[in-house]
Homo-oligomer: A and B are copies of this chain.
Amino acid sequence: MYFAGIDLGGTNIAAGIVDENGKMYEDMSIPTGAQRDYTEIVKDMAGLVETLCKNMKINPNDLKGVGIGCPGSIDNENGVCEYSNNINMKHAKIAEEFRKYIDVPVNIENDANAAAFGEYEINAKGSKSFVFITLGTGVGGGVIINGEIFRGFNGVGAELGHSVIEMDGEECTCGRKGCWEAYASVTALIRQTKKAMEEDKDSLMHKIAEDEGKVNGKVAFLAAKKGDKSGQKVVDAYFKYIAEGLANVVNTFQPEQVVLGGSISKEGDYLLNPVKNLVEKMDYNRYMPKAEIKIATLFGDAGIIGAALAAKNKIK
């Protein structure tokens, strides 16, 4: 039983063929061309799925379903992306359009929700409550309650990166000031790194940034690991930013598991252990079993696998 999963991003469309257990057989990605009309993008998504099916020698119309993870505000029931600012879409009838090419059930989820569902199905199936956080360009969230994606009544729920942790703080892309995303995203880390570099001209971060070709999310981490004090200060502050928002998530949901994904989560235990120690101290719960905080395992595949399995879950 095969499903196609599509992770529609601002830069690339990634897709794969996934079986009912979440095993991925074939995957591929192509550029999104995000500024084109959405019908063009959908045509490319369908073409990509057709290519994958051809490679696997299956008929696209024999797929049990297609799942699409899409950034923005999603009307899951009708398969519509009501709005996305990463991709040029307003009231884009993605499911209807897609079925012009491949006529199988199509399910659309917010991309962070799809990734959350992938991590849940593969690593935490059976958890009564589960939260996934992506620490990437932004901070995204997905919440799974009793095995179902929690979308809020309008489909826009679980925007966990857009909770203010510092009133009137740093500007956020959403229009608020002081959102968790504005402190704990990689974008924020790069801003924090640049500021620290300006303040310490002797920091090892300058040399590392030169080697990396730019100031990226790794610079402060690499410097800290080599004993650079300014790098360590950036990293310590960044851990605290992650922890403050994460403790808010824990106090709100007390989920059985919280999984951290996104590019920065590849730091693994180096990031996880200090963040866990900080959250432990901020956890309101002192007397009951604790939420388990872990690093994601699917990384880039979470979106594809999660979209496919969410389609399976919706169709059943």
Contacts from A to B (Cβ < 8 Å): 73, 75, 82-83, 90, 127-129, 145, 150-160, 162-167, 174-176, 240-241, 244, 247-248, 251-256, 281-282, 284-291
Which interface residue of A83, A151, A158, A163 has the most chain B CB atoms within 10 A?
A: A163
Identify A129's interface contact among B128, B157, B162, CB under 8 A: B157
Is there contact, CB below 8 Å, between A127 and B153? yes
Q: Which residue of B lies closest to A75 (CB)?
A: B288
List B contacts of A157 (CB < 8 A): 129, 252-254
List B contacts of A282 (CB < 8 A): 164, 175-176
The CA-CA distance from A267 to B264 in the complex, in Å, is 46
CB distance from A76 to the nearest CB of B (A): 11
The CA-CA distance from A98 to B155 in the complex, in Å, is 43
Is there contact, CB below 8 Å, between A158 and B284? no
Is there contact, CB below 8 Å, between B159 and A252? yes
The CA-CA distance from A282 to B291 in the complex, in Å, is 29
Tell me whether A254 and B153 are in contact in the complex, defined as CB-CB below 8 angstroms, given that A174-B284, A284-B174, A287-B83 are known contacts: yes
The CA-CA distance from A290 to B163 in the complex, in Å, is 17
The CA-CA distance from A166 to B164 in the complex, in Å, is 8
Is there contact, CB below 8 Å, between B284 and A162? yes
Is there contact, CB below 8 Å, between A152 and B287? no
Is there contact, CB below 8 Å, between A256 and B145? no
List B contacts of A287 (CB < 8 A): 73, 82-83, 90
The CA-CA distance from A174 to B151 in the complex, in Å, is 29
The CA-CA distance from A247 to B159 in the complex, in Å, is 11
The CA-CA distance from A83 to B284 in the complex, in Å, is 12
The CA-CA distance from A285 to B248 in the complex, in Å, is 20
Tell me whether A154 and B83 are in contact in the complex, defined as CB-CB below 8 angstroms, given that A174-B284, A288-B75 are known contacts: no
Identify A289's interface contact among B83, B154, B160, CB under 8 A: B154
List B contacts of A160 (CB < 8 A): 251-252
Is there contact, CB below 8 Å, between A156 and B254? yes
Pick the 7 closest A-B CB pairs, nearest first: A152-B254, A157-B254, A154-B288, A163-B248, A153-B256, A83-B287, A156-B285
List B contacts of A254 (CB < 8 A): 151-159
Identify A159's interface contact among B127, B166, B284, B290, CB under 8 A: B284
Is there contact, CB below 8 Å, between B253 and A176? no
